[in-house]
Amino acid sequence: MKKLLLLAFALMMVFAVVACSDTDKKGEGVMTYAEYDAAELQTQVVVETYVQAKQSWWDNKATLYTQDKDGAYFIYEAACSEADYAKLTPGTKIKVTGYKAEWSGEIEIADATFEIETGNYVAKAEDVTSLLGTDDLVKHQNKFVSFKGMKVEAYDESGAAFAYKDPEGKSDDLYFKVSKDGKTYDFCVEYYLCGKDTDVYKAVEGLKVGDTVDMEGFLYWYNGANPHITSVTVK
């Protein structure tokens, strides 16, 4: 019995090493995250990365949040059939060829194509609460991150805890403000990523000024940090 347990443990370790090496290994001609990060804007880039979430699909174009073990890549409107879009479940490995671009501070890969490859990796949320308001936060742009122990603030002079971009149809983004250590930050529920029927959209609609919350989401950038939140827990 003891030998069987030891054998099972050894096999588990082998599988773990294989899984780890799969996320470490890059194919021929593929950039590391460091090489991608150093590349000039408007130059062609080739990366292997893993789908973490899908924002939208329309007109045979897909917008994706992706990440590997070293960094994250926002893929903007890559050429994609509806059939392939359906295959892009969380963790799916893809090889992306496109051009490094920037829009209002957000670094992305545009005019891209991709191939689905063998492999799987789902990132755990990285706690970046302590980096809010620092120059180091941008180094984690587009990663799946968490923010803990944040206080909900009034969004505007009305005293409301949140604001609709489209208050009548509720068919657009949802905005709210949270603070930590006396500094206030703007957060967002991106409608195409998390629409009005999602748990996070409803959770933000239920927030009250003064609530303490933990959150997870993607560290998007729009003239500064503009996290796209995917979950909110009131403490």
Q: Computed over its alpha carbons, how large is the radius of gyration of the chain? A: 20
Q: What is the pLDDT of residues 98-154, one digit of tens each?
A: 999 999 999 999 999 999 999 999 999 999 999 999 999 999 999 999 999 999 999
Q: So where are the chain's domains?
A: 8-120, 126-234
pLDDT above 70 for 170: yes
Q: Which residues of 21-58 are buried (b: 16+ CB within 10 A; e: fewer)?
A: eebeebeeebbebeebeebeeeeebbbbbbbbbbbebe
Same topology, domains 8-120 and 126-234? Answer is yes
Return the pLDDT at 26.
Answer: 86
pLDDT above 80 for 21: no
8-120, what's its fold?
A: OB fold (Dihydrolipoamide Acetyltransferase, E2P) (2.40.50)
Name the helix (H) or strand (E) containing 33.
helix 33-38
pLDDT above 90 for 8: no
Rounded to an integer, the average pLDDT of 41-64 is 98
Average the pLDDT over each of 4-8, 36-40, 46-50, 179-183 and give the range with the smallest value.
4-8
Pairing of strands 144-153, 72-79: unpaired
Give the Cα separation of 5 and 11 in Å (integer): 10
Q: What is the pLDDT of residues 184-220, one digit of tens each?
A: 999 999 999 999 999 999 999 999 999 999 999 999 9
CATH homologous superfamily of 126-234 equals Nucleic acid-binding proteins (2.40.50.140)
Alpha carbons within 13 angstroms on the beta-carbon side of residue 9 total 6
User: What six digits make up the tokens of 96?
Assistant: 């992306």
Proportion of the chain above pLDDT 90, given as a percent = 87
Does the pTM of the predicted model rise above 0.85? yes
For the chain, give the mean pLDDT: 92
Return the pLDDT at 5.
Answer: 46
